[in-house]
Amino acid sequence: MSKIAQDFGIQEALDRLGIKSLNNGTSTGSNNFSSGEELASYSPVDGALIGKVRTTTKEDYEKVMDAATSAFKIWRTKPAPQRGEVVRQFGDKLRELKEPLGKLVSYEMGKSYQEGLGEVQEMIDICDFAVGLSRQLHGLTMHSERPGHRMYEQYHPLGVVGIISAFNFPVAVWAWNTALAWISGDVCVWKPSEKTPLCGVACQNIAAAVFKENNLPEGISCLINGDYKVGEFMTHDKRVPLVSATGSIRMGKIVAQAVAARLGKSLLELGGNNAIIVTPDADIKMTVIGAVFGAVGTAGQRCTSTRRLIIHESIYDKVKAAVVTAYKQLRIGNPLDQKNHVGPLIDTDAVKMYQQALYKVVEEGGKLIVEGGVLQGTGYESGCYVKPAIAEATNTFEIVQHETFAPVLYLLKYSGDVENAITLQNGVVQGLSSAIMTNNLREAERFLSTQGSDCGIANVNIGTSGAEIGGAFGGEKETGGGRESGSDAWKIYMRRQTNTINYTTELPLAQGIKFDL
């Protein structure tokens, strides 16, 4: 165990989460088994080895699916409020283990400890939301056009839900899906990112304990580990009616095609190229706070991170100066140390992509006004720490059109009215999160209108980063069109059924059709 890990109690956190030096990476509840190769997890904080898991083989996967499909037959018969009670207990376990799980998220992924705690709190919040929802999985009752008939609709569990999550939110996104799937009567098979496997093991340990305490089948919560090939087990499996995948657009297109080929359902949460529009009526102080956190929070590795700042020409220099000044105050370093604002990127491959983006923006004619670079020396031995950078650019640059998962912010200038800014904001293939900073009511409403932002999330006077549990989370265009978390996102985890009951002695046909025998 490294010095940083010792100083910040990582071993104690691992112990409380039931993680040993080598954990099997495949499990059905607490039944752990794996016959695949070892997969090591190294911390981007200091480059130290945290632990290892074994990857899931096809034979292992078949055992998982046998357990999951068997568990579904039992779990679906439990009344939804009873399922909600189990989810409530899971939320309480998360409350007890919030500190160690938050530390593991921070150490294995690299986000700040406060963000790690915040991510676990999102898990707790979605459990609370799901508990209430377990008593509200209702359909509609409709009047039939045929006398003596009653019509209504209801929702039934789908079956096995496959979840593929990304490294940047190694626990929360799984919980968003799982809590809703569980109260819907589904069972879950989860493949966490191969970059954060121990977070998956920790969550599985917590869930398994809850199901065991309730004498419920272990297959309700299953874990598999490995690279994209393991994910393909689920995407091509007809026994998995829904695959929820979070990651890059490239990955999402592959998953969507594979699932669609077997006429399955996919829930996709893919890339974002999020912008904040800053109008002449914006509050500059609020703008700086929203833009800076949005751009550098989680070291720019959020799908909702702010990539573009679209500023009106009349205030461009003023806003630029304020943001540049704020960047000078950023502290980069060990994310477990709460004095630091920015932690490391996930690995050295991410660092290379960051460097390529900075090179590309200059090559295309842009100008770096806050120069980036890779940090070296004491405290930066992992090679994953970089400086948040700002570049002046235009929306037509190829690099600006792509999502770089790193703290690179592009400043774009617009003239005229807010419609021009909205055109720039919408002028990318991604459509996740968006925001406008303005105290002008007409501008705000124009931004939120049918002719405004084309994103799944549109905010006024807050940034692009982050979302509340109560609202449906997701985006349009090449972001995938999926919705998770709040509102009526639960419906995708269930199958819809329309029912008609005839309580007469006659059989009238719809639309008055006569078919006399």
Residues near 94 by Cβ (< 8 Å), separated by ≥ 6?
101, 120, 123, 124, 127, 206
Question: Looking at this protein, which amino acid is placed at residue 66?
Answer: D
**Looking at 269, 403, 443, 484, which residue is catalytic?**
269
pLDDT of residue 445: 98
pLDDT of residue 78: 98
CB count, 10 Å around CB of 362? 14
CATH code of domain 274-471: 3.40.309.10
Question: Looking at this protein, which amino acid is placed at residue 405?
Answer: F
Residue-wise pLDDT tens digits, 295-304? 999 999 999 9
Mean pLDDT, the chain, rounded, equals: 97
Question: What would the mean pLDDT of 35-60 be, rounded to a whole number?
Answer: 96
Q: CA dihedral defined by 36, 17, 12, 107, rounded to 10 degrees? A: 70
Asked if 480 and 271 count as a contact pair (C-beta separation under 8 A), the reply is no
pLDDT of residue 512: 80
pLDDT of residue 9: 96
Please, which pLDDT band fits residue 170 given cuts at 50, 70 and 90?
very high
**What's the CATH superfamily of 3-270+480-496?**
Aldehyde Dehydrogenase; Chain A, domain 1 (3.40.605.10)
pLDDT of residue 30: 87
Please, which pLDDT band fits residue 1 given cuts at 50, 70 and 90?
confident
Using CA atoms, how far apart are residues 210 and 93, in angstroms rounded to an integer? Answer: 8
Region for 46 from its dihedrals, namely left if φ exceeds 0, alpha if ψ lies in -120 to 50, beta otherwise = alpha
Please, which pLDDT band fits residue 330 given cuts at 50, 70 and 90?
very high
pLDDT of residue 467: 84
Q: Would you say residue 229 has pLDDT above 90?
A: yes
**38 a catalytic residue:** no
pLDDT of residue 22: 82
pLDDT of residue 490: 98
Question: What would the mean pLDDT of 415-439 be, rounded to a whole number?
Answer: 98
Residue-wise pLDDT tens digits, 364-373? 999 999 999 9
Using CA atoms, how far apart are residues 487 and 130, in angstroms rounded to an integer? Answer: 11
pLDDT of residue 440: 98
Asked if 307 and 408 count as a contact pair (C-beta separation under 8 A), the reply is yes
Q: Would you say residue 516 has pLDDT above 80?
A: no
Comma-separated ranges of CATH 3.40.605.10 domains in the chain: 3-270+480-496
Percent of the chain with pLDDT strictly greater than 70? 100
- Find the distance separating the first CA and the last CA of the chain, reported in whole Å: 82
Using CA atoms, how far apart are residues 36 and 9, in angstroms rounded to an integer? Answer: 30
Question: What would the mean pLDDT of 447-459 be, rounded to a whole number?
Answer: 98
pLDDT of residue 82: 98
Question: What would the mean pLDDT of 74-88 be, rounded to a whole number?
Answer: 98
**Looking at 303, 455, 478, 484, which residue is catalytic?**
303
Task: Kindly give the pairing relationship between strand 433-437 and strand 274-278.
Answer: parallel
Say which residue the tokens 């007890």 belong to.
96
Sign of the dihedral through C-alpha 403, 404, 405, 408: negative
Give the range among 24-38, 40-54, 324-338, 377-391 with minimum mean pLDDT: 24-38
pLDDT of residue 21: 80
Comma-separated ranges of CATH 3.40.309.10 domains in the chain: 274-471
Q: Would you say residue 506 has pLDDT above 80?
A: yes
Distances (CA, A) of 139 to 61, 85, 181, 497, 502: 35, 21, 17, 9, 19
Q: Would you say residue 517 has pLDDT above 80?
A: no
**381 a catalytic residue:** no
Percent of the chain with pLDDT strictly greater than 90? 96
pLDDT of residue 6: 95
